[in-house]
């Protein structure tokens, strides 16, 4: 009986199995988008170059390295090697170095070797490492009579022209797909309380400086930005949290008997509800119970001058009191002071996803909605703390297998 391919692969020597590429986690839709982007990018780049240069410059409509650039710009646009400065700066300095080497070194192979080595060094120095630029340097040396005759003009046409056209298509295409491009380095968010403390979730576990220290010690180029790497690590931590504590979801800990108000609820009535039921926030809903805002005690107080604390109660009373006449510049109803848009979460969301929302983003009350975005509950920081406490206790009570 013949062995199946999988069985044969498993029985192969370890060194042979190590050469086989890892299974890709990229879905079919993303692969199709990448292929479509490269097709559109190269097509438009070639057509626009032909329109600008005319039929006499057919050799310069497209250069081969643009194919490699298209792979980066449309298949891995998040890569640091695919950013705008990488393609423009990398291709320009590589073309310039290649032309110089072609003019100064008579032996083509020697000129090509020196050009590629110098181009890599220049790209490292200018922070514009772009692998296809190595092919640009090689083309400048070995591109044939047309390239040789163009001289330093080759740097601008076709290299700069092709690079800018392909980049323009990539900017539009990736934005239309909702991709973050250019994939600029995201700075760490400012502390929510304007202090020197890190965000709560960043005070435990690894810190950005730990990641930078490891990358510096690693000492090799990684085709991923530092902020993306940091995001992946933190998402891995949350995934491990869900695996450890189970799939407790918002529906399991939310308050279901939620007090709500509508847009036209008078301020005094909303304040009375908060005071009577000892709650800090009230979701504002429409007739279909879809959340349109949220009003908190802080929303009331920010409309009261707190300069003189001895008369805060008097000024708050005046703010809540309904104006007798019909025309007034004073806020009269909840809809005029509520926070909008309001962040909501689906009832199926694992509670691990609530931690950064409440700890780092500073949300104290998060309305929970169903599949039709109707209000079904609310989760507070107190609910989250209680849930984490209970799940931790359950973990401690679980007997360890012998």
Q: How far apart are alpha carbons 310 and 358 in whole angstroms?
A: 33
Please report the pLDDT score of residue 1 as a whole number.
46
Please report the pLDDT score of residue 227 as a whole number.
78
Note if the pTM is more than 0.85: no
pLDDT tens-place string over residues 13-47: 777 777 777 677 788 999 999 999 999 999 999 99
390-397: long-range contacts at Cβ-Cβ below 8 A with a sequence spacing of 24 or more? Answer: 391/245, 391/246, 391/248, 392/245, 394/245, 395/244, 395/245
Q: Would you state the pLDDT for residue 313? A: 67
Q: Phi and psi at residue 177, in whole multiples of 5°?
A: -85, -5
- Determine the pLDDT at residue 220: 81
The 3-state secondary structure of 17-57, one letter per residue: HCCCCCCCCCCHHHHHHHHHHHHHHHHHHHHHHHHHHCHHH
C-alpha–C-alpha distance, residues 120 and 115, integer Å: 9
Q: What's the confidence (pLDDT) of residue 242? A: 66
Tokens 């700069």 identify what position?
Answer: 160
* pLDDT score of 236: 78
Low-confidence stretches of the chain (pLDDT beneath 50): 1
The two structure tokens encoding residue 379: 């989760």
């Amino acid at each position: 009986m013949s062995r199946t391919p999988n069985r044969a692969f498993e029985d192969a020597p370890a060194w042979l199995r190590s050469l086989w590429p890892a299974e890709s986690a990229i879905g079919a839709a993303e692969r199709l988008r990448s292929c479509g982007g490269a097709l559109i990018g190269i097509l438009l780049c070639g057509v626009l170059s032909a329109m600008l240069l005319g039929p006499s410059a057919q050799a310069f409509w497209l250069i081969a390295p643009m194919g490699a650039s298209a792979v980066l710009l449309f298949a891995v646009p998040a890569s640091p090697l695919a950013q705008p400065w990488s393609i423009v700066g990398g291709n320009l300095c590589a073309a310039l170095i290649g032309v110089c080497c072609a003019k100064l070194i008579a032996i083509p192979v020697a000129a090509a070797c020196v050009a590629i080595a110098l181009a890599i060094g220049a790209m490292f120095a200018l922070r514009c490492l772009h692998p296809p630029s190595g092919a640009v340097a090689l083309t400048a040396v070995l591109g044939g009579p047309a390239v040789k005759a163009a001289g330093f003009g080759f740097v601008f046409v076709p290299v700069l022209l092709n690079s800018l056209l392909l980049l323009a298509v990539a900017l539009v295409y990736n934005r239309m797909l909702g991709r973050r491009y250019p994939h600029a380095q995201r700075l760490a968010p400012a502390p929510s309380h304007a202090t020197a403390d890190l965000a709560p979730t960043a005070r435990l576990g690894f810190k950005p400086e730990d990641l930078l220290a490891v990358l510096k010690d690693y000492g090799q180029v990684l085709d991923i930005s530092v902020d993306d790497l940091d995001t992946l690590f933190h998402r891995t931590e949350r995934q491990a949290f869900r695996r450890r504590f189970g799939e407790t979801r918002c529906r399991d800990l939310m308050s279901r008997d939620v007090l709500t108000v509508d847009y036209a609820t008078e301020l005094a009535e909303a304040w009375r509800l908060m005071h009577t039921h000892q709650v800090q926030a009230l979701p504002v809903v429409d007739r279909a119970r879809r959340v349109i805002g949220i009003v908190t005690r802080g929303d009331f107080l920010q409309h009261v001058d707190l300069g003189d604390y001895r008369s805060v109660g008097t000024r708050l009373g005046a703010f809540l009191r309904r104006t007798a006449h019909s025309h007034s510049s004073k806020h009269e109803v909840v809809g005029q002071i509520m926070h909008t848009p309001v962040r909501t979460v689906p009832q199926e969301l694992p509670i691990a996803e609530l931690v950064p929302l409440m700890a780092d983003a500073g949300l104290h009350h998060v309305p929970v909605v169903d599949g039709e975005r109707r209000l079904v509950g609310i989760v507070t920081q107190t609910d989250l703390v209680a849930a984490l406490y209970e799940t931790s206790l359950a973990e401690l009570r679980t007997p360890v297998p012998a």
